[in-house]
Copies of this chain bind each other. A is one copy, B any other.
Amino acid sequence: MKKFTEKDRYFMERALTIAYKVKGSTFPNPAVGAVIVKQGTIVGAGATKLYGGDHAEKVALKKAGKNARNAVLYVTLEPCCHFGRTAPCTQAVVEAGIKKVVVAVTDPNPLVNGRGIRFLRNKKVQVSVGLMQEEASLLNEDFFWSVTHQMPWVALKLATTLDGKIADSSGNAKWITNKQSRTFVHELRRRHAAVAVGKGTLLRDNPRLTVRHVKGCSPARIVFASSPEIPENCHFRKDASKYQSILVCKGGQRRRIEKRPDGVEVWYTGYKKNREHLSAFLRMAFDAGLTSIFIEGGRKLASSFLEHKLINRLYIFYSNTILGQGIESFSFAKHLTIDNTIRIGEIKTHSFGNNFLITGIPYRDK
């Protein structure tokens, strides 16, 4: 027996598309899309507003108005049933007279976690769960992780040649990958709460670390440095009033945040050793509401995060070129062997013209 029809799928796909548009602007809330359908027609649709604003269900219900009565609600995530900054969505759904709710995936947030669905069923609303579950889980994988682990989701991006070089022998990396790939990197930036680089990358490339080429808010910007001195003229410092800008430094007597007059926040983790330092940073980031972090290099920073098993998702963009000699992708403190590599699970590939992207989950083996 098929639980869902082609039409169900069509409407849930719409809800997912709407949700992806707001991905990156709802932190620390998940990005959710909702579509209300009556007699085969969409009578209301919406996505999560900025933090503190309406959830997707309420946006859609307001648009639908009286048409919501006896209609079907497609929603990419289980509706919430708790009072947060807004009143629970489940209550609004019941009050609007929605007949049936199709949910893509349950909300693992301990405050919800099936309670929303039970509430609706108790109120005689029909609920079906699991339509396009995989797609909806991917959409909010960062939220699901951070809400259950109380740590930010960490993604790592590399751009390499087919033979694994991230720059030529002289250190030049502009540009290894093509324009389509680089545009998608901006899309990925947009979807994360923060982007991070090492100080070496800051000094060499002077990156803006903002979202351009695609629509969307710029995330917080993070630079890892051994000391808090950075050049006055770098974009990171000059634009510190416009975007949250964090300089993460090792050591200090204890965990401490110093707000500088130039707008840059200096975060001292209180730890000197890499593993403790990075873990402490992640706790500070979570406490500051940064629930996902997109690391863009350089090699030292990327290698540190990866060898300490702190990466949740890996994105490698491959060019269609070969360099031979050049700068390696990674350099780990401990040499790995064939029988003891870092394995990447759930690998998927995407094409960007003659470039392609490999993405997967480190340390999972399937």
Say yes or no: is A341 at the interface (Cβ < 8 Å to chain B).
Answer: yes
- Chain B nearest CB: distance from A349 CB in Å? 6
Say yes or no: is A167 at the interface (Cβ < 8 Å to chain B).
Answer: yes
**Complex contact A324–B332 (CB within 8 A):** yes
Given A162-B358, A163-B160: A335 in contact with B344 (beta carbons within 8 A): no
Given A321-B342, A322-B344: A163 in contact with B162 (beta carbons within 8 A): no
Q: Which of B307, B319, B331, B338 contacts A173 (CB 8 A)?
A: B338
**Complex contact B316–A162 (CB within 8 A):** yes
Say yes or no: is A130 at the interface (Cβ < 8 Å to chain B).
Answer: no
Q: Which of B167, B176, B330 contacts A324 (CB 8 A)?
A: B330
- Chain B nearest CB: distance from A223 CB in Å? 24
| 27 intermolecular pairs with C-beta atoms under 8 Å apart | A162-B164, A162-B316, A162-B329, A162-B344, A164-B165, A164-B328, A164-B329, A168-B337, A169-B335, A169-B337, A176-B338, A306-B322, A318-B358, A321-B341, A321-B342, A321-B343, A322-B362, A323-B336, A323-B338, A323-B341, A323-B342, A324-B328, A324-B329, A324-B332, A324-B335, A325-B335, A347-B356
Q: 10 additional contacts, CB 8 Å, given A307-B324, A322-B342, A345-B354?
A: A161-B164, A163-B329, A163-B330, A164-B329, A320-B347, A321-B344, A324-B332, A325-B332, A347-B354, A354-B366
